[in-house]
Structure 1
């Protein structure tokens, strides 16, 4: 896919959400997201349903020839599929059926739209999945390679099925909340004497890019880490990078400017995942992004051309009414950025 085609799918001035949603009703969730996010709806995740429906369980359901089960600490690779593998795949199928139903409900408006699917990225998946012996997959370079290849193949198949069933264009989001910990070597091992080594940035980048290039769709890499590894992500093959703007420090501004210079789109998390004590308007949501581009000196047209608007992170633990409100706030903010960003003023 050409850079121009990629930018048409992951373009600035639109609203989307990160992935997870409150509650356990896939049809209600799909109908809400498909209806509210006209430019970039997504296949929602509903962690409230329990094992197999959270980010790692959902992603594990996509793996090819790498079955898994649960352990006392999380998910573990196993020699053969178990009940958890079957449940995770059944939940994914149910969610896709619900989205297809909601998509058809949009009528002709659904034709040619773009939809986003999400999965844990290879670094986070390797950090959170266990080998049969209980160690993190990340501790075995051969297992990491196999996991990355399996993930890329499974995601490619998944994206192809979504595209065929919805008649939509597909972009892929890789969630990498553990990427900073992987690079720093701050993940705990199985005991106090068992440390998990820091993965050098070139090695980690090779792992991440093997999946990005393998899925054959435009990729957005998102991180909810308190200290997003922006310099590292800048070197990736991803078309867009997403992060919570509230986590950004003054020292990160140069990295954000360089992300824009390299041609990447930014998915800025501008809306808190929990409701504020007093009602907010789109203007209050928009202000940090406007001040960011003004401070970087890149011109306000950047808001329309290069910035996607999202909640700060997943909405699984948000009240349902606030989750719905975040979508409308994101949409209103994106509209303001595309209509006349130069006229935006703040006290």
Structure 2
């Protein structure tokens, strides 16, 4: 294994909301084979949001909620008094994906990564039973984070049983909406106002519940955010043992915070290859140069926990770009 490795952020193209179950199962299996082939040192569980709301980031979160019910409404996911058909479908789809993972990756013995929506992004996208976002209610926010945490404990235990040879399991908590939550930029249900900002102690506590559950279950929690103003210091203080960033969005403040994480030996995922053809080119040389310039700016050397990735998920790319992007990440990592 090279000192620096490569992985993907999570999402990939494939699948259709109205496709037959067998077709979507085949799309997932093909995505998983691509990941296992292109990312032999740090593979990940593919997410195919193209299969519809039950396979989206929020749908996957709904599938793992413990003792909280949800259903899909015209406006999106909403907490309910009892599990709805869409939550049951989301759970069934996740179970089928994990069955496929167990079948195709039974002998995989490297580091493996899975992804799940974070408590603040979920609170910003899921509604309370009577409408408006969970974000608007202190008690509902806490209950949602606790439910996610408990669901994650069970999820990690299930993955450990299915992939007994994995050397290390990483759980990536996706928080693309966290900066907007902290900056009071999440619209209310009417669209005419914004939800009040969450203060930093509560934001940290909500993350800590989820990140702590991952650690307690024997996995490594990291936080991914592909939005500007990623509060790296906050998530590390809440228990994250690594972060995943888009290098094109890293300013001077975030660069210093990343340097601290690298020097602490934490796993740092550096997004250096475009997630679509509109982003940074998918070539080994350009990705390696981008990472080298970043390290030179910080005066740091590569570390074993450093990982090269696309800048974000690959759901918006075509199959050719996906393979090129993952291959560029792997080959760029090997140059170090």
TM-score (norm 2): 0.90
Residue 100 of structure 1 corresponds to which residue in structure 2? 102
The question of whether the paired residues in 2 share the 8 Å contact of 1:44 and 1:95 is answered with: no
Query: How far apart are the structure 2 equivalents of 1:207 and 1:16?
Result: 27
Relative to structure 1, is the Cα distance of residues 219 and 65 closer, same or farther in structure 2, using a 3 angstrom cutoff?
same
Give the superposition deviation at 1:254: 2.4
Give the superposition deviation at 1:261: 4.0
Query: How far apart are the structure 1 equivalents of 2:58 and 2:325?
Result: 24
Give the superposition deviation at 1:176: 0.4
Residue 20 of structure 2 corresponds to which residue in structure 1? none
Relative to structure 1, is the Cα distance of residues 290 and 49 closer, same or farther in structure 2, using a 3 angstrom cutoff?
same
Residue 17 of structure 1 corresponds to which residue in structure 2? 8
Residue 139 of structure 2 corresponds to which residue in structure 1? 142
Which segment is superposed worse, 37-46 or 179-188?
Answer: 37-46
2:54 to 52, 55, 58: 52
Match of 1:61, SS state, is helix
Residue 159 of structure 2 corresponds to which residue in structure 1? 162
Residue 245 of structure 1 corresponds to which residue in structure 2? 247
C-alpha deviations, 1:209-259, integer Å up to 9, x for none?
Answer: 111011222111001113322232342311110010011223433222233
Match of 2:53, SS state, is coil
Which segment is superposed worse, 11-20 or 146-155?
Answer: 11-20
Give the superposition deviation at 1:35: 2.2
Match of 2:188, SS state, is strand
The question of whether the paired residues in 2 share the 8 Å contact of 1:26 and 1:94 is answered with: no
Which segment is superposed worse, 255-264 or 23-32?
Answer: 255-264
The question of whether the paired residues in 1 share the 8 Å contact of 2:273 and 2:282 is answered with: no
Match of 1:237, SS state, is coil
Give the superposition deviation at 1:281: 2.5
State the aligned residue count. 320
The question of whether the paired residues in 1 share the 8 Å contact of 2:208 and 2:239 is answered with: yes
RMSD, aligned α-carbons? 2.0
1:145-224 map, 5 Å: 145-167=142-164, 168=166, 169-192=168-191, 194-215=193-214, 216=216, 217-224=219-226
Query: How far apart are the structure 2 equivalents of 1:239 and 1:325?
Result: 29
1:62-141 map, 5 Å: 62-104=64-106, 107=107, 110=108, 112-141=109-138
Residue 23 of structure 2 corresponds to which residue in structure 1? none
1:180-329 map, 5 Å: 180-192=179-191, 194-215=193-214, 216=216, 217-275=219-277, 280-298=282-300, 300=301, 303-329=302-328
TM-score (norm 1): 0.87
Relative to structure 1, is the Cα distance of residues 195 and 170 closer, same or farther in structure 2, using a 3 angstrom cutoff?
same
Query: How far apart are the structure 2 equivalents of 1:33 and 1:332?
Result: 14
The question of whether the paired residues in 1 share the 8 Å contact of 2:14 and 2:50 is answered with: yes
Give the superposition deviation at 1:189: 0.7
Which segment is superposed worse, 54-63 or 89-98?
Answer: 89-98
Give the superposition deviation at 1:67: 1.4
